Chains A and B, each alone.
Chain A
Amino acid sequence: MTEYIIETTGLSKKYSNNLVVNSIDMHVEKGKIYGLLGKNGAGKTTTMCMLLNLVYPSDGKILLFGKDPRNHSKEVYSNIGSIIEAPGFYENLTAYENLEVIAKLRGNYNPLNVKMVLEMVDLAHEKTKQFKDFSLGMKQRLGIAAAIMHNPELLILDEPINGLDPFGIKEIRDLLKKLSCEYGVTILISSHILSEIENIADVIGFMDEGVLIDEITRQELHERLNKYVEFEVSDIDLALELMNKTGFKENKDYCYKRSLGEYIEDLDSGENSEESTVGGTIHLLSNLDLRDKFNTLFVSSGIDVRKVNLCEENLEEFFTRIISND
């Protein structure tokens, strides 16, 4: 039986008449990285806040580690590390002092542990700098240090890579993967940066307007991403004519795009438009296994085929598609 670290049933949050989270049934498996994906205002942060008891649900049920957090608050939440939006720390304190406050209040202060975790996020050398003088990236890294300092079994991270440079993003991504793979830490991470979620998550939850539209594994995602073959041809009109003759329908079996540069050049040259040819790109959407036949057909008809690519819809396109379908 699958062990869920986070399980919600009908979780909702309503502010006045505004339903910001609408009956979410979320399942986060033990040891997995769950990416929560959605536009700004989709309800990701509110959902995470409800999981952390910072925001009270209007309706629904939450189970963390299989327990109701309202009855096992101390036990459950001491095993969770979190970052919600911008990390909050005392501005007049250094990184070490801020972590000391948190660790002492948590009751597991160990100076070596604090130093180690600061080294891990590359802040150990900032011994005297106060939090108010930190860059956005440094603040974010300190937030991550605070979240992982007590070796939690669950991390709830809301947009943890905000403000990080590409190197910082890669470091944090590697760290999270390591925590998940080597230490079995379960991670719920939200982002509106699709590529980041695609890179890191085992399971992706898609949220839009407070609704959890779908929860799919990376494997399922790969299977559900639309695939197509892209032909770049020298004569788009002739290629389309050939495709139509084979009984293929536009927008169903294929779609196309004229090469704008070539089209403008063609107009500028003032040559007889009937004799000139314009190149373009055709996307073969169905019967992908016939791509070699089409290639042969185009070439034998005197069309130069400049490129043939087998392409896959990216997460951004998939996300847009499932939101539109919904």
Chain B
Amino acid sequence: MLTFIEMEFLKLKRSKIFLLSLLMAALPSVLMFIATFAFDETQSFDALFSTVNMYMSVLFAILLFSIVISYLFGREYNEHTLKTMLTIPISRGKFLVSKYVMFLIWIVILSVVTSISALAFGFLAGLSGFTLGLFINRFIELLFANLLLFLTFSPFVFISLFITNMVPAMVGGATLTLVNLLVSGQNWAPYVPWACPYLISSGEIADYGVSLMIPYGVILATFIVGIAISYIYFTKKDVPL
């Protein structure tokens, strides 16, 4: 598994998509930095971290993660490397799990980039109220939300295997971003898998008056269904040349 992950990083060498994903992860911080001056939006680090986390988990992450996951799986089809990998041989199950673990690592990297960029732009904007504890807490909050989001992305694995170019995943990501916006503040937000992670990590779930078991159950069910259909599809289907 470690070698597989190491090789996944080597495959990203000179990859524009990796750089692009890092820039996208820093985008909420950039926008908030601009908003600080343009609209006098945020005055403290706490408000900055909080807003960046919300924008990231509710909006940007959905689209960004869908691009990342479709690239991770889709490139093996588009560059015709899947046949090379599977004849090494690597078992299809191991291949699927390893790719999904790589997706997890990528998400952790993006979370770090988001938090550090927020910190950097906060200092650039001259905000007040910075403490290390605050930074760590807000980072953990973002990381937790993104890890829960990671679990809800297993259906995207199936989409990436089924339609191997990035367009369907991006359309799906954009659609879910809109869904998240629509359900925001609605009673049924805790039942939408991609809206739950931020509600849980920020503690806003308490405002909805539902048991914590519900959003966790929704996330877990999405994860299991997504993984199961992806695994069945990938292991039963012939490899396209």
A residues adjacent to B (C-beta < 8 A): 45, 49, 52-56, 73-74, 77-78, 80, 82, 84-93, 97, 100-102, 104-107, 130, 146
Output the least CB separation between A18 and chain B (Å). Answer: 14
Report if A89-B81 is in contact (Cβ < 8 Å); known contacts: A77-B87, A105-B88.
yes
- For B, the interface residue count at a CB cutoff of 8 angstroms equals 27
Among B6, B15, B90, B239, point to the contact of A54 (Cβ < 8 A): B239
Say if the beta carbon of B10 comes within 8 Å of chain A: yes
Q: Are A90 and B79 touching (Cβ within 8 A)? A: yes
**Contact flag A101-B239 (CB < 8 Å), given A73-B89, A74-B89, A106-B88:** no
The winner among B75, B236, B239 for most chain A CB atoms within 10 A is B239
B85 at the interface (CB under 8 A from A): yes
Asked if B211 lies at the interface with its beta carbon under 8 angstroms from chain A, I say no
CA distance A130 to B236 in the complex (A): 33
Which of A45, A56, A84, A105 lies in contact with B85, CB distance below 8 A? A105
Is there contact, CB below 8 Å, between B81 and A90?
Answer: yes
Contacts of B89 in A (CB 8 A): 53, 73-74, 77-78
A53 lies within 8 A of B3 (CB): no
Interface positions, chain B 5-33, Cβ under 8 Å from A, are 6-7, 10-11, 13-15
Which 8 pairs, one residue from A and one from B, show the smallest C-beta to C-beta distance? A88-B80, A77-B89, A54-B239, A88-B81, A55-B238, A92-B14, A88-B84, A101-B7
| Residue B191 at the chain A interface, CB threshold 8 Å | no
Contacts of A89 in B (CB 8 A): 79, 81, 84
B86 within 8 A of A: yes
B10 in contact with A52 (CB, 8 Å): no
How many angstroms from the CA of A48 to the CA of B23 in the assembled complex? Answer: 44
Contact of A80 among B79, B87, B239 (CB under 8 A): B87
Closest to B241 in A: A85
Q: Which residue of chain A has its CB nearest to the CB of B18?
A: A92
> Is B86 a contact partner of A53 (Cβ separation < 8 A)?
yes
20 contacting pairs across A/B (C-beta < 8 A): A45-B241, A53-B87, A54-B83, A54-B87, A73-B89, A78-B89, A80-B87, A86-B80, A88-B81, A88-B84, A90-B79, A91-B79, A92-B11, A104-B3, A105-B3, A105-B4, A105-B7, A105-B88, A106-B88, A146-B84
Residues of B within 8 A of A49 (CB): 83, 238-239, 241
B82 at the interface (CB under 8 A from A): yes
Let me know if B91 is at the binding interface, CB within 8 A: yes
| Interchain CA distance A73-B10 in the complex, whole Å | 26
Spell out B's residues near A (CB within 8 Å): 3-4, 6-7, 10-11, 13-15, 75, 79-91, 236, 238-239, 241
Q: Which B-chain residue is minimally distant from A52 (CB atoms)?
A: B87
Say which residue of B7, B84, B239 sits within 8 Å of A87 (CB atoms).
B84
In the complex, the answer to whether B82 meets A101 with C-beta atoms within 8 Å is: no
Q: Which of A73, A80, A86, A90 has the most CB of B within 10 A?
A: A90
A15, closest chain B residue (CB): B238
Smallest Cβ-Cβ distance to A105: which chain B residue: B88
- Chain B nearest CB from A186 CB (Å) reads 16
B92 shortest CB reach to chain A, Å: 9
Residue among A85, A88, A93 with max Cβ neighbours from chain B (10 Å): A88
B contact residues around A88 at 8 Å (CB): 79-84
Q: Which residues of A contact B88 (CB under 8 A)?
A: 77-78, 102, 105-106
| Known contacts A73-B91, A105-B7; is-contact A130 B14 (Cβ 8 Å) | yes
CA of A54 to CA of B92, assembled, Å: 10
**Do A104 and B239 touch (CB < 8 A)?**
no
Query: Measured between C-beta atoms, what is the minimum distance from B215 to chain A in Å?
Result: 38
- With A49-B238, A86-B80, A92-B13 given, is the CB distance from A54 to B86 under 8 Å? yes
Measured between beta carbons, the chain B residues less than 8 angstroms from A100 are 10
What residues on A are CB-neighbors of B14 within 8 Å?
92-93, 130
Q: How far is the CA of A25 from the CA of B14 in the complex (A)?
A: 46
Residues of A within 8 A of B85 (CB): 105
Chain A residues closer than 8 Å to B10, beta-carbon distance: 93, 97, 100-101
Within the complex, the shortest CB–CB distance from B240 to chain A, in Å, comes to 9
Q: How far, in whole Å, are A146 and B87 apart by their CA atoms in the complex?
A: 11
**CB-based contact A104/B7 at 8 Å:** yes
Q: Which chain B residue lies CB-closest to A130?
A: B14
Residues on B with C-beta less than 8 A from A82 are 87
Residues of A within 8 A of B86 (CB): 53-54
B87 touching A97, Cβ below 8 Å: no
Rounded to whole angstroms, the CA-CA distance of A250 and B49 in the bound complex is: 95
Which B residues are CB-close (under 8 A) to A146?
84
A102 with B241: CB separation less than 8 A: no
